[in-house]
Amino acid sequence: MSVIELRKKIMERVSSIENEEILKEIYDIIEAEADLEPVYKLTDEERNAIEIGLKDLREGRVVSSTKANELIQEWLKK
């Protein structure tokens, strides 16, 4: 079932509901969904950077967070 078909079926069902409590519950669900942040979509560049990092991890090219902080401090001094 496509999104359009599903949306149409939901609207038809909601239109026929007489129970106020059920309608309030449906409204609360819709409002809660509106408050959700959209899903972040990675760019190809970001996806590639993550893959490179994961490959480094698998191949043992890692440093501790302490060493990483030292390297960053050295880099910032340049």
- Which DSSP string do the residues of 17-31 spell out, in sequence order? ---HHHHHHHHHHHH
Q: Do 30 and 48 share a domain, yes or no?
A: no
pLDDT, position 1: 84
CA end-to-end span of the chain? 58
pTM of the model: 0.44
**Domain housing 19:** 3-35
Q: Confidence class of residue 28 from pLDDT cuts 50, 70 and 90?
A: very high
- For residue 19, the 8-state DSSP code is -
Total structural domains in the chain? 2
Return the SS3 of 18: coil
Q: Do 31 and 10 share a domain, yes or no?
A: yes
Is the per-residue pLDDT at 54 higher than 90?
Answer: yes
Q: Do 29 and 49 share a domain, yes or no?
A: no
Average of per-residue pLDDT across 1-29: 94
Of all residues in the chain, the percent with pLDDT exceeding 90 is 82
Average of per-residue pLDDT across 37-48: 90
Is the per-residue pLDDT at 13 higher than 80?
Answer: yes
- Taking phi over 0 as left and psi of -120 to 50 as alpha, with beta for the rest, 60 belongs to left
